[in-house]
């Protein structure tokens, strides 16, 4: 009974929201990690009004080209070896470059490729040191494997109170002098910091109907859920006060109650660490999970839901129950829940 329904209309709608906020900037729709669990080729087709796509691997880019997708495609971590560098040219890709060795690989190529030079403005993950910007830029401009340079950075705190100014100002002090296109804004910056939009923005999680902010819901942002994970009640148990539920019996009933057993567990991608009280919809009514999530099942509270029983529909997240709300209750992020959808789950894309 477990099905993940994925909506192309919702993807297209969320792209429109990103476009509205981006202003004159071009959109690079991030569809890495199998489009955050939604299906790479499906998402690319649904987002075909974007200006470009971003993926992680050569393999992902090749799959898009095989589907006849001619949009610019950005390789987000650049080539991992010389063979990748050759494939970038062969597949007509754009690539991020964040270390000198990647420039050396590109120099050996048969034709130049568009390059996004990535600089570390404070996240301390990928990127050349900011103070080396002029030297790196000179090296790139003299590289026969490089053309159409863009300067790039990534924000660490665009989604929280610290904001982006501490990175943006440092980056722009040097980047502005280069007079080249710039890409910096992720979903949170697209929605909250228009001054960072520059030439290319990179919407990611917002495309899938999730809010990048803890204090603003996806609905408030006008976003629609793309994935709805649905199942059903497959058994009902009546338990007495003092009886427990599930492995470890870490939920104990204080009163007599009805519980429903749902066909969904951590082998399907539902978080095992989701505690008692994680929200769930049964027959359209909000209730809570009880006890520990099992490999193939979880328990829900049917108290106050007398009409619920075997066969009743269950929404784990999606329409009517934002994935952000479930993720927050489970102490994680919507990104993890969406990406963790297991291969054994039946997926219906339309």
Residues with a catalytic annotation lie at: 32, 247
DSSP class of residue 271?
-
Contacts of 63 (CB under 8 A, 6+ apart): 40, 41
Number of Cβ atoms within 10 Å of the Cβ of 147: 13
Write the DSSP assignment of 155-222 as a string of letters. Answer: -SSTTSTT-SHHHHHHHHHHHHHH---EE---HHHHHH-GGG--SEE---GGGGT--S-SSS-TTTTT
The alpha carbon of residue 111 and the mean position of all alpha carbons in its chain are separated, in whole angstroms, by 32
Task: Kindly give the residue spans of alpha helices, DSSP state H, lying in 279-333.
Answer: 323-329
Pairwise CA distance, residues 250 & 176, whole Å:
57
Cα 340 to Cα 37, 114, 128, 335, distances in angstroms: 7, 32, 31, 8
Pairwise CA distance, residues 159 & 215, whole Å:
10
Helices (H) and strands (E) in the chain, counts: 11, 19
């Amino acid at each position: 009974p477990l099905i993940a329904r994925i909506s192309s209309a919702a993807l297209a709608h969320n792209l429109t929201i990103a476009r509205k906020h981006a202003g004159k900037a071009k959109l690079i729709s991030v569809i890495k990690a199998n489009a955050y669990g939604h299906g790479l080729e499906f998402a690319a087709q649904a987002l075909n009004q974007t200006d470009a796509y971003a993926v992680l691997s050569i393999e992902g880019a090749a799959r898009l080209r095989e589907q006849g997708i001619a949009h610019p495609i950005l390789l987000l971590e650049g080539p991992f070896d010389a063979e990748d560098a050759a494939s970038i040219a062969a597949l007509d890709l754009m690539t991020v470059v964040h270390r000198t060795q990647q420039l050396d690989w590109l120099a050996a190529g048969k034709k130049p490729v568009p390059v996004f030079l990535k600089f570390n403005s404070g996240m301390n993950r990928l990127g050349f040191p900011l103070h080396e910007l002029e030297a790196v830029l000179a090296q790139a401009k003299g590289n026969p494997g490089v053309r159409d340079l863009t300067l790039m950075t990534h924000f660490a705190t665009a989604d929280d109170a610290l904001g982006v100014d501490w990175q943006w100002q440092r980056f722009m002090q040097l980047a502005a002098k280069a007079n080249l296109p710039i890409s910096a804004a992720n979903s949170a910056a697209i929605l909250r910091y228009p001054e960072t939009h520059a030439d290319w923005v990179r919407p990611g999680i917002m495309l899938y109907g999730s809010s990048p902010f803890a204090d603003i819901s996806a609905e408030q942002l006008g976003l629609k859920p793309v994935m709805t994970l649905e199942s059903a009640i497959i058994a009902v148990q009546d338990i007495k006060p003092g009886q427990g539920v599930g492995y470890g019996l870490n939920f104990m009933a204080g009163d007599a109650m009805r519980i429903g057993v749902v066909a969904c567990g951590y082998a399907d991608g539902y978080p095992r660490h989701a505690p008692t009280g994680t929200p769930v919809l049964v027959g359209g009514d909000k209730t809570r999970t009880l006890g520990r999530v099992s490999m193939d099942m979880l328990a829900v509270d049917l108290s106050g839901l007398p009409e619920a029983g075997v066969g009743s529909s269950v929404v784990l997240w999606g329409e009517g129950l934002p994935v952000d709300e479930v993720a927050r209750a489970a102490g994680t992020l919507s990104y993890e829940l969406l990406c963790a959808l297991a291969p054994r789950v039946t997926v219906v894309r339309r």
